[in-house]
C-alpha cells in the first residue's frame, strides 16, 4: 500500500546518496559500491529516529533495483520512473595470482542450531567479524572499532578448522590479501556497531563475497529466519556432530 502511493519516489545521486518519500515517511539512504551494480546501504528515517545499517542494493538484469534490509524484514523492488534499465558495467579484473577458492564457512552458535556464524575463506585465509565489530583475519585483528578485543582468536588469527562446515562458492584471484584487509578496514569504519540482527557476521560475509565476486550469496541471513547454508545439499561438514538432522 505504501509503495503504491503516488508520491513514493527515491532519488539517488552519483555519490550513492539518496532520499525521498516511501509512502508517508521520508527516507535518507547512503550507499557504497561493492561491485558493479552491487551496493551496501544504510537507511534512516529521521522523524522516527529509525535506521537500518545492513542494507544490500542489487541492480537486476532488467534494471530493477532490489533493496534488502534483513534486520527489518525489508525486501523491495524499485523501477526507474522512466521505466528504462540501468546498464551495469562488466568488470574484467586482471588475475594477480593463482586462483584461490572461496568458501562460506559456518559454525553453530546456539545449542538449538538456530543461529549460525559465518566467515569467508579465500584459499587458506579466513576472515570473520567479532562481537565488538572487529574483523579478524589469518594473522589476528585486521581492524576493530574498539580496542577491547581480547579473545584468543583475535590475537592468533582465525582458521577454517575452527568452523563446523563450509560451502564452496567459486574462485577468485582479483583481490590480494592486502586488498582484502583494506576492504575490511573500510567496512568496519562504515559499520562500527555490531547488531545481532545486522550488521553482523553474516552482513560482513556477504559484503566481502560481493566484493570478491560481484554476486550476492544465495543464502538467507539470520534475520530472514531461514536455514542456510547449513541446510545446503552442497555443505561439507568438518564437525558432523553439529550437523542438524
Q: Rounded CA gap, 18 and 56, in Å? A: 14
Per-residue model confidence (pLDDT) at position 177: 87
Q: Mind listing the pLDDT tens digit for each residue in 62-103?
A: 889 999 999 999 999 998 887 665 555 555 555 566 789 999
Q: Torsion angle, CA of 54/60/169/93, rounded to 10 degrees?
A: -100
Per-residue model confidence (pLDDT) at position 95: 54
Mean pLDDT of 165-188: 90
- Specify whether the CB–CB gap between 171 and 95 falls below 8 A: no
- Specify whether the CB–CB gap between 158 and 138 falls below 8 A: yes
Q: Where are the domains of the chain?
A: 9-78, 100-240
Q: Rounded CA gap, 67 and 56, in Å? A: 6
- Specify whether the CB–CB gap between 44 and 194 falls below 8 A: no
Which of 3-17, 93-107, 186-200 has maximum average pLDDT?
Answer: 186-200
Classify 230 as helix, strand or coil.
coil
**Exposed / middle / buried, residue 220 (Cβ in 10 Å: 0-12, 13-18, 19+):** middle
Q: Give domain 100-240's CATH architecture.
A: Alpha-Beta Complex (3.90)
Q: Of the candidates 108, 116, 233, which has an alpha carbon nearest to the alpha carbon of residue 167?
A: 233
* 126, three cell numbers: 579466513
Q: Mind listing the pLDDT tens digit for each residue in 111-120?
A: 777 789 999 9
Per-residue model confidence (pLDDT) at position 86: 57
Map 53-118 to HEC letters: EEEEEEECCCCCEEEEEHHHCEEEEECCCCCCCCCCCCCCCCCCCCCEEEEEEEEECCCCCCCEEE
Per-residue model confidence (pLDDT) at position 84: 61
- Which residue bears the cell 579478524? 136
Amino acid at each position: 500500500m505504501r509503495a503504491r502511493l503516488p508520491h513514493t519516489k527515491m532519488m539517488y545521486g552519483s555519490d550513492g546518496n539518496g532520499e525521498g518519500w516511501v509512502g508517508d515517511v521520508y527516507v535518507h539512504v547512503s550507499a557504497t559500491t561493492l561491485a558493479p551494480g552491487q551496493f551496501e546501504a544504510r537507511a534512516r528515517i529521521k522523524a522516527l529516529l529509525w535506521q537500518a545499517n545492513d542494507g544490500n542494493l542489487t541492480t537486476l538484469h532488467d534494471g530493477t533495483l532490489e533493496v534488502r534490509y534483513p534486520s527489518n524484514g525489508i525486501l523491495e523492488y524499485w523501477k526507474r520512473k522512466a521505466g528504462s534499465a540501468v546498464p551495469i558495467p562488466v568488470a574484467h579484473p586482471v588475475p594477480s595470482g593463482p586462483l584461490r577458492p572461496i568458501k562460506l564457512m559456518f559454525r553453530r552458535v546456539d545449542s538449538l542450531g538456530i543461529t549460525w556464524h559465518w566467515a569467508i575463506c579465500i584459499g587458506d585465509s579466513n576472515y570473520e567479524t567479532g562481537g565488538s565489530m572487529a574483523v579478524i583475519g589469518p594473522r589476528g585483528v585486521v581492524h576493530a572499532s574498539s580496542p577491547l578485543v581480547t579473545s584468543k582468536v583475535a590475537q592468533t588469527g582465525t582458521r577454517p578448522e575452527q568452523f563446523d562446515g563450509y560451502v564452496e562458492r567459486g574462485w577468485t584471484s582479483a583481490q590480494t590479501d592486502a586488498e582484502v584487509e583494506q576492504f575490511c578496514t573500510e567496512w568496519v569504519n562504515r559499520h562500527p556497531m555490531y547488531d545481532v540482527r545486522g550488521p553482523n557476521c553474516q552482513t560482513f560475509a556477504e559484503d566481502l563475497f560481493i566484493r570478491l565476486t560481484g554476486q550476492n550469496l544465495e543464502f538467507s541471513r539470520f534475520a530472514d529466519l531461514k536455514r542456510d547454508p547449513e541446510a545446503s545439499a552442497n555443505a561439507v561438514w568438518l564437525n558432523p556432530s553439529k550437523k542438524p538432522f
